[in-house]
Amino acid sequence: MREKRKKTAPLFVNEPPVRFRWGRRHSVWSVAIAFALAIVFFASGRVTAPSRGDNAPIQRGLASWYGRDFHGLQTAQGEPFNMNAYTAAHRSLPLGTRVRVRNLQNGRAVVVRINDRGPYKRGVIIDLSRRAAGDLGMIRDGRAPVRVEVVPGGTRVGPRPSFGA
């Protein structure tokens, strides 16, 4: 059986009490708990977007559009914003990236170039120029559920070509 520690009288009045001595069993558990907390902390970051086989990120969420109030103002890329161009604002994609935005309500799609940062509204993943929003059929509603996927750099911006009548 274990021997009990004897309590000794403090030598001085203000002497701090004797601390609990950690045994091997306690240190193993403390390391295990710290390791588990570290895993939870680092694994609880943002979830990466699902992707196709060629590592093109795909996002789903709401899109909004911006136009007249920002027309002519400087974008994050340094060029003046043109509401009649096929451009968009995204929080994290690199500037100059081309993305295909598909309206999930009506199936329309358009390719835009990311040239600005934003949107700064909760729940919105991309801000489109007025022209891109018009091609997607979301001018009246202001917002629409969309699917955003990165396309190769050589892809021409603009509406998806419609084949057939």
- Indicate if the pLDDT at residue 84 is higher than 80: yes
C-beta of residue 111 within 8 angstroms of C-beta of residue 56: no
CATH code assigned to 58-159: 2.40.40.10
Give 47's contacts (C-beta < 8 A, 6+ positions apart): none
pLDDT tens, residue by residue, 5-33: 666 665 666 666 666 565 555 567 777 88
pLDDT in tens, 60-83: 999 999 888 888 888 988 899 999
Q: Which stretches does DSSP call E strand in 10-106?
A: 58-66, 87-90, 98-103
**Confidence grade of residue 165 (pLDDT, cut at 50, 70, 90):** very low
Distance CA 79, CA 77 (A): 6
* pLDDT given for residue 40 in this prediction: 73
- What is the pTM for the complete model shown? 0.62
